[in-house]
Amino acid sequence: MGERKIRILIAKPGLDGHDRGAKYIARALRDAGMEVVYTGIRQTPEAIAAAAVQEDVDFVGLSLLSGAHNHLFPEVARQLSARGASDIILFGGGVIPDEDIPGLKTAGFRAIFTPGASASEVVEFVEKEFEAGATAGTRA
Amino acid sequence: MSAIDPVHLAGLVRRGDLRGLARALTVVENGGPEASVLMHKLYDPSPASRSVGLTGPPGAGKSSLADVLIAHWKSRGRRPGVIAVDPSSPFSGGAILGDRLRMQRHACDPDVFIRSMGSRGHIGGLASSTAQAAEVLAAGGFDPVLIETVGVGQGEIEVVSVADQTVLVLVPGLGDDVQMMKAGIMEIGDLIVLNKADRPGMDQLETVVRASLEFVREGRPVPQVVKCSVATGEGLEDLFSKLDDLLSSGRDFEAVRRGRVRENLLRVAAEQGTRFALELLERSYGIEKAVDMVLAGETTPYEIGERIAALSGRAPV
């Protein structure tokens, strides 16, 4: 009792239906002992942020392969802020050109994983960020 | 951070603050002294909110039924809450919480609150803190509160003691009438929903279910049976009206409430007892040391257990 589990929401904003990557990452995080809320494809930024608040997740991971990341990713960050939940750590993945990454980081994304990144890199990122947050006392 | 102060959180829950409610659910889920304080603050022996358990085998359509029930209750001006439990891996402790996927169209509605929980090693079809989580949702003004169990087999019937009413969802193709004779799952359910009525095998399912109801224990109301298909919408109106009737009048809630308070008391005592006994074991032997002693043939787990019990009798209250 009293054990704190890492909770993560994995979602796909926008219109592409390619969810293999998202499901693969969800499973890898599960196998690393985390609780992964999977909300599926074609989610609006509002629905993703509302779900993240209700589920009280520590992280939101977005996957997008349609090219609309420069619009949809920052919109999720804005929706979280609007709900007083900007402490939730954001990361993203998908077909994202290198030149777009600095802009997404400015928008609040702590990490962007591009094709070729391994699942263990994502797990490691989450564990490290959670550890840092727990030490800083920002989360329960 | 003030947001984790349980007294403060209890205030946020009562004021209808959704983020505070979500945080409170996390506190309850993680357990420990903060959870006790929070539940103490929110405790209501006679809640106005009703709870509905939704149980059945994996893939029976529980989450899809939850989705249409939310829409129905919303259309009646109610504020439904959902606790959806999925299994945690016994190996990694992780979980994929996927029930929400079927209800995600309600995500942005401030009058619907959906929370997923991993079972976290608890057996019985729920997480150990699911009952408290449902109480927190009720304290936050959500009514009714739907409690969706993990996909159950034959014996996971804990939801019956947690929810005011239980809906058992069955689908064609689960097995023959001998399955229906087995103890456990077929003995529960205030309402039995035969879902996927558009699939073959429905007539046979209905026959064996109705036959099994002839043997309902004496003094217990015979569950109603509804045939429906969430996919086609067939039979859903019938399901809604039967369930709402049950919720508004069906049962003697006074008697149920006494049983509920009693269960709650026993559960809290058992949890504290377990923690206390493990602390005693650790302090008086050291768990690994005790394992060594048993392996070396110096004592047995039973003797250690008796000694711990004797020690606890002398402990200050």
* Among the ranges given (A53-57, A85-89, B199-203), the one the predictor scored with the smallest mean pLDDT: B199-203
pLDDT interval class at A14 (50, 70, 90):
confident
- The residue with greater pLDDT, A16 or B144, is B144
A85/B19 CB distance under 8 A: yes
3-state secondary structure labels for all residues of chain B: CHHHCHHHHHHHHHCCCHHHHHHHHHHHHHCCHHHHHHHHHHCCCCCCCCEEEEECCCCCCHHHHHHHHHHHHHHCCCECEEEEEECCCCCCCCEEECHHHHHHHHCCCCCCEEEEEECCCCCCCCCCCHHHHHHHHHHCCCECEEEECCCCCCCCCCHHHHCCEEEEEECCCCCCHHHHHCCCHHHCCCEEEECCCCCCCHHHHHHHHHHHHHHCCCCCCCCEEEECCCCCCCCHHHHHHHHHHHHHHHCCHHHHHHHHHHHHHHHHHHHHHHHHHHHHHHHHCCHHHHHHHHHCCCCCHHHHHHHHHHHHHHCCC
| Residue A31 belongs to a domain | yes
Residue B255 domain flag: no
Number of domains in chain A: 1
Q: Best of A56, A58, A60, A120 to disrupt the B interface by mutation (most B CBs within 10 Å)? A: A56
Q: Are B111 and B240 found together in one domain? A: yes
Mean residue pLDDT across chain A? 92
Q: What is the CATH number of the domain that holds A88?
A: 3.40.50.280
pLDDT on residue A89: 97
Whether B100 sits inside 8 A of A37 (CB atoms) is: yes
Q: Which domain holds residue A94?
A: 7-136
Query: Domain for residue A71, yes or no?
Result: yes
Q: Which of B25, B30, B104 to mutate to test the interface with A (most CBs of A within 10 A)?
A: B104
Q: What pLDDT does residue B317 have?
A: 44
The residue with greater pLDDT, A108 or B219, is A108
Q: What residues of chain B have any CB closer than 8 angstroms to a CB in chain A?
A: 1, 3-4, 18-19, 22-23, 25-27, 30-32, 88-89, 92-98, 100-101, 104, 107-108, 113-116, 118, 120, 271, 275
Taking only residues 68 to 87 of chain A, the set having a beta carbon closer than 8 angstroms to any beta carbon of chain B reads 83-85
Q: What is the pLDDT along chain B (317 residues), one digit of tens a residue?
A: 334 799 999 999 999 999 999 999 999 999 888 999 999 999 988 888 999 999 998 889 999 999 999 999 999 999 999 999 999 998 999 999 999 999 999 999 999 999 999 999 888 899 989 999 999 999 999 999 999 999 887 777 888 888 989 999 999 887 666 666 565 677 778 899 999 999 898 998 898 888 888 777 677 778 899 999 999 999 999 999 999 999 887 556 677 778 888 888 998 899 889 889 999 999 999 999 999 999 999 999 999 999 998 887 755 44
| ipTM topping 0.85 | yes
CB A35 to CB B92 under 8 A? no
What is the count of structural domains for chain B? Answer: 3
Whether B84 and B21 map to the same domain: the answer is: no
Closest CB to A1: pick one of B32, B94, B107: B32
User: Is A120 in CB contact (< 8 Å) with chain B?
Assistant: no
Question: B268 and B301 in one domain?
Answer: yes
| Residue B3: predicted pLDDT | 46
Domain membership of residue A1 (yes or no) is no
Domain of residue B27: give its range: 1-43
| Model pLDDT, residue B230 | 94
Decide if A106 is inside a domain: yes
Q: Which residues of B touch A29 (CB under 8 A)?
A: 94
In a domain, A122, yes or no: yes
Mutate to test the interface with A, among B9, B19, B21, B26 (most CBs of A within 10 A): B26
pLDDT bucket at A97, cuts 50 / 70 / 90: very high
**So what's the pLDDT on residue B18?**
95
pTM of the model: 0.90
- Contact state of A56 with B271 under an 8 Å Cβ cutoff: no
Q: Do B25 and A56 touch (CB under 8 A)?
A: yes
Cβ contacts (< 8 Å) between A7 and chain B: which residues? Answer: 26
Q: Which residue among B27, B104, B114 places its CB closest to the CB of A40?
A: B104
